Structure 1
């Protein structure tokens, strides 16, 4: 998995007869013995804990936890009790990032939501509702994942684990010291992975729009089905699966497959590929927001010519967010469909689409993207109408400029190579 630092907390619960109450002793970190918060114990040296009286969310103290990548094995900070079968618990904790090079992930008997690393200088909440399947001890805590910009050590403040009967915090969304609050929410999902006869060849990852690795897996057994839980905040992501031998996981040497489901919908699936296969997907209703009203978009360029026009156009588009090459797949799924001719929702292939009759080949969105091909009709790929070798290869933003990259038959794409178009 991704190199990470774990901060785990085992939480005890005392339960009323009708209402589920899991009391975290000293959850507000108000009671200390030296550098150790009462009712908590540090059992490893990978983290250091001290009392903070300057940055707190409520009361007079919080836990200041310094996480170092130099000592990452089982860096636990914990206490323990039990939960009762059938009861539902609302767990939450508040964290405060100082640098933005690390994010915290809530653990409630399994990995749940993340904090937002870029939200620094203010408190943010991570929460999860948990229903106990049995009466037993469970783990609830935090694991820290380094992201782009991490310098090897980072200070994170932690406060107000709840439920906590001696808590002084405002469990609602009121004013917080140090700035406003930001609720850490995520969309739950699951990766189902069945390996082929050579499971050790398979690995996978999920990366965000900054190419930071959030989840990953490797070193699998052969012909085995795995289930990996994930939870993703709104945004753009890429799922990548790899096979070191280069023959995918289906179907020459076993019937391997994968299916990533987020919020009940499959966002990436398959099994037949070569060395690697990447699928872009989006969580949430929007990847960037903004108005769809473009009536005034070019107002500042109106009536200009020459150098002045060029400068005005530059200023209009300056500050855009360059997308990844894998993001093109997501664009095709949403915006390269046949809603004009057969109106069947198939991929519009600029080479084989027949505007006046039945298409010679038809491609289903996402499931027919390349992939392996041996002839026309096998799958669709991404064709640069202006060959990328002409501008130096995989160089942004030209390499991902959707204005000149079209969905085309993979086999024909390879035959076209980097030749210029001509009249035929």
Structure 2
């Protein structure tokens, strides 16, 4: 049974309401009657369910075999009781085997999707629900076929559970609408791990510690609107992954991840804001303020309205990028030494091989790595025709990087490398594409720490330049390999699937949030996929 640990410190300035629980019965799929999991009563004709030992925790999970592409026949559900004004965070864990089927959470209606391209590993899908009335609702999952579905595919489901937080009926001092959960998996030395959430007055409002080793925990979190900092600590100073076990953490509030990671030193902190309009929170499903006109839209209609919102930004000069890097391109996240943060040389888990001094180490000429830093177009400018405004100076996709590594990357598409011909000091690689990627040419692969940053920069480019990007396919042979000549999907299937995987594997960080805020000040528009990462699946999830 998955453990649920009580917060070890008092909740300052707020209180948890009485636990009026929408208890999911047999959510860990440990109880079975033949091939039917007990308490799961709505099993449609398009799926079959069997007990499996491939579990997220406990002894069993549900192996759901999807046998149809008729989406009206693939639901697995049960009814739970809820109380008016009460907030519940429903969470389940999904394990995809082939990538041709995705799971959609059902909580009194169809909610968020899993990412089918993340195969061979468990992923979390969650949704925060506030009951409008007292009664019963249905919860569960529906399974959808996607590209690559061959008529039959197994998806494993486990640990379907709610977390209860206070609702509006609790009166003053109760939690607002910001309920969630910290999912924490410890490494071989769980006793070294602790965490806390502090508010804007540096008061600790939630914390945990004294954990067992190699154990998964689920901690309920209930927060009022405001600004917070989540900090995870390792008393030995070597983080929770990956030298001595494979620990990780993911703090989900209102259905969106606001802090996650695994590899760090003595501590790692992430700031987030709840209840604010506009952007800068790193997530949230309420499209208000800056994004209000896109609220309620999905698919490519949502993408087009986002384009209207972020279009026509204030074009800056190419030289102004140097000034942006001087102010906002420094390392205040890893070594915190004020050097230029170069995604092609930064070592997130140790000392960098070299550093660049902001301003004085601008390129210039170079003959090898570490000579100077320059302006890397993550989306190569040859793909859109060269030094063409406003793309050529759009800071949302232009990062400070080592000049020599930038040149080695050239205009090759990003990808996953099978055989490397060149490796930078932090492990970024150039080489032939890995088998199974769907592309056989030369690609450049950044390290995992920055893959999500790059993916969200590409989703930004596909949206900001929706009105012209269909014509870019013919500008470059490398661009043609990644772009499909459309203004809606924009990317070839292999490239889109990879970007979706990178986006999911490397969630939005505080570094991205801060950079997005700075870019808004610099040129007057935002990257919606940093502010609301869930919009990626709303647009490209199909």
TM bucket normalised to smaller: 0.3 to 0.5
Higher helix share goes to which structure?
Answer: 2
TM-score, normalization: structure 1? 0.45
TM-score, normalization: structure 2? 0.36
Larger Rg, first or second structure (1 or 2): 1
